Amino acid sequence: MTEIVRTEGLVKRYDGTLAVAGVDPTVDTGEIFGLVGPNGAGKTTTLRILATLLAPSAGTAEIAGMSVTRNPDQVRRVIGFMPDSFGVYDDMKVWEYLDFFARCYGIAPAARRRVITDLLELVDLAPKRHEYVQTLSRGMQQRLCLAHALVHDPQVLLLDEPASGLDPRARVELRELLRELRAMGKTILISSHILPELEELCTSVAIIDRGQVLAQGRVAEIEKRLRFGAVLRVKLLLDGEALEAARERLAADDDVASAVILDDGTIELGFRGDDEATARLLKETVAAGLPVVSFSRAASDLEELFLQVTAADEPVAAA
Partner 1 sequence: MADMTAPVRPSSPPFATVLRAIGGIAAIGVKELRGRMRGRRAFIILTIYLLLLGGFALMVEQIMEQQFQNPFTGASATAGPAIGQAIFAAVLLLMTLQVVFLAPSSTAGAISLEREKQTLELLVTTPISSFAIVIGKLLSALVYVFLLIAASIPLMAVVFVFGGVGPEDIVRGYIVLIVTALGLGSFGILCSSLVKRTTASTAITIFGVLAITIGTVFLLVFWQAMGSFDATGNRRPGPLGIRTPYPLAWINPFLAQADVLCGTESTFGGGWCSVVQGLAPTTDNGVIINNGGGGGVGVPMPMPVPAVPEKGFAPGGAVAIDDQGNPIVNDVVAQPFGARQDTLWPKTVAMWLGISVFFILLSVQAVSPTRRWRFLRRPRRRAKSPESQAP
Which residues bind to partner 1, rule: CB under 8 A? 1-4, 6, 26, 28, 51-55, 62, 64-67, 69, 71-74, 76-79, 81, 83, 85-92, 96, 100-101, 103-106, 145, 148
**Contact assessment for residue 35 and residue 8, using Cβ atoms and an 8 Å cutoff:** no
Q: Closer CB to partner 1, residue 63 or residue 166?
A: 63
Residues 6+ apart with CB under 8 A from 222: 205, 207, 215, 216, 305, 309
Q: Closer CB to partner 1, residue 26 or residue 203?
A: 26
Query: For strand 212-217 and strand 204-209, is the pairing parallel, antiparallel, or unpaired?
Result: antiparallel
Count Cβ atoms below 10 Å from residue 199 Cβ, excluding itself: 18
Distance CA 309, CA 38 (A): 12
| Residue 190 CA, distance from chain mean position | 6
Q: Closer CB to partner 1, residue 83 or residue 273?
A: 83
Q: Closer CB to partner 1, residue 138 or residue 283?
A: 138
Q: Shortest approach of partner 1 to residue 79 CB, angstroms? A: 7
**Contact assessment for residue 78 and residue 64, using Cβ atoms and an 8 Å cutoff:** yes
Q: Closer CB to partner 1, residue 68 or residue 215?
A: 68
Q: Shortest approach of partner 1 to residue 284 CB, angstroms? A: 46
Q: Shortest approach of partner 1 to residue 214 CB, angstroms? A: 20
Q: Shortest approach of partner 1 to residue 132 CB, angstroms? A: 10
Q: Closer CB to partner 1, residue 54 or residue 232?
A: 54
**Contact assessment for residue 198 and residue 192, using Cβ atoms and an 8 Å cutoff:** yes
Query: For strand 26-28 and strand 3-14, is the pairing parallel, antiparallel, or unpaired?
Result: antiparallel
**Contact assessment for residue 216 and residue 6, using Cβ atoms and an 8 Å cutoff:** no
Q: Shortest approach of partner 1 to residue 136 CB, angstroms? A: 15
For residue 159, what is the enclosing H or E element? strand 156-160
Q: Shortest approach of partner 1 to residue 195 CB, angstroms? A: 26
